[in-house]
Amino acid sequence: MISKIVKIALLSTLALVVLGKGTLMYLQTQEQVPNNWAGTDTEKKLISEMVDAVIAKQQKEHQPGAVAKRDVHTKSHGTFNATFRIRQDIPESLKVGIFAKKGEYRAQVRFSNGAMSADSYDALPNVRGVAIKLHGVDGKKVLPGDENSSEHDFLLANDVVFFAPGVEDMHKLVNGEMGALIKQNPRVAALLADAVLKLVKNPLTTDYFSQVPYALGAEGNERLAVKYSLTGAASSLFSMPNLFDRHYLRHAAVASLNKGPVTMTFSIQVKQAGESIEDSSKPWTGAHIPVAELIFDKVEGMVAESAGEELSFNPVRALPEHEPLGWPGRVRKEVYPADFKWRSEKNLKN
């Protein structure tokens, strides 16, 4: 018995030395993650109403003859080509799906503002997002209608948590009931303020987070709940953007890539005991474990804001072992395809 305890202690110490404390934490927190898609009847009704509200808003605001753009993350800071390179030193328990073995995928990466028009000032308070589309990913995808797609999408934003604690809160936001939401849940105001009041100098030097969780592992097997993060490239503490430039974020990203390739680091954070899957307004505490590098190609000249407008990004377009978890995934499964279908059809008529 004593020798067994000593053996376990030695193995734990070795893991701590080799992998780091945060990695040892994740080894202790594997659990069975439930199926994600069984929402309640009430939730399904709210999601259906959100789809209707988004399309109604799009129809109301669209100008005849103009390009129909995304309902959210309308303004792009450029869509760039990159390589998503899987690391060789990933802990064994994280070698699942896309991360199962060392290799690389070509990618398209779109940076964006969460709200306001494509002509708005970047200096105004806003959420900043990044969408990553991998190409050449074999295997069936979760998104209905895109099961045979060779693409796999990730969505991240520059705040650790999601500003809406529950689907009811999101329903109020989508339907323009901000006052009622804040009165009912004052915490949302603080979450929104924290999300939009961040100085962003350059999309490439900014840190991004998936905010909401995803599975890591096949359903029916022991699998983890994880979140993703993307760490920005190093930047000078003394550099300041030209806040008077309406489109300074796109110009900053392009200027960086005109000089040469830029690398960002993609990591996985594993859910710890007691942390929530459904309420993503509360941060997780686990370490961020690097699993890939996102290496941007060098760019020649300027990149237009409209570049990548035809692309559709949806985190439900994913392998089953990376399927979204929690209510945001169930919302995106319905709302994003409806919005893409509407704007695609509208643009075909223009």
Which residues sit opposite 293 in a β-bridge?
85, 265
> Average pLDDT, whole number, for the chain?
90
**Does residue 321 sit within a domain?**
yes
Whether pLDDT at 194 is above 50: yes
Whether pLDDT at 19 is above 60: no
Whole-number pLDDT of residue 43: 96
Which residues sit opposite 70 in a β-bridge?
none
Q: What domain range includes position 63? A: 31-349
Residue linked to tokens 């309406």: 246
Domain with 153 in it: what CATH number?
2.40.180.10
Whether pLDDT at 310 is above 80: yes
**Does residue 229 sit within a domain?**
yes
**Does residue 316 sit within a domain?**
yes
Whole-number pLDDT of residue 235: 82
Alpha carbon distance 154, 79 (integer Å): 14
Query: For the chain, how many structural domains are there in total?
Result: 1
**Does residue 98 sit within a domain?**
yes
**Does residue 11 sit within a domain?**
no
Q: Where are the alpha helices (DSSP H) in 62-94?
A: none
Whether pLDDT at 1 is above 70: no
pLDDT in tens, 103-116: 999 999 999 999 99
**Does residue 330 sit within a domain?**
yes
Which helix (H) or strand (E) segment holds residue 339: the answer is: helix 327-349
DSSP secondary-structure letter at 273?
A: T
**Does residue 25 sit within a domain?**
no
Whole-number pLDDT of residue 38: 78
**Does residue 294 sit within a domain?**
yes
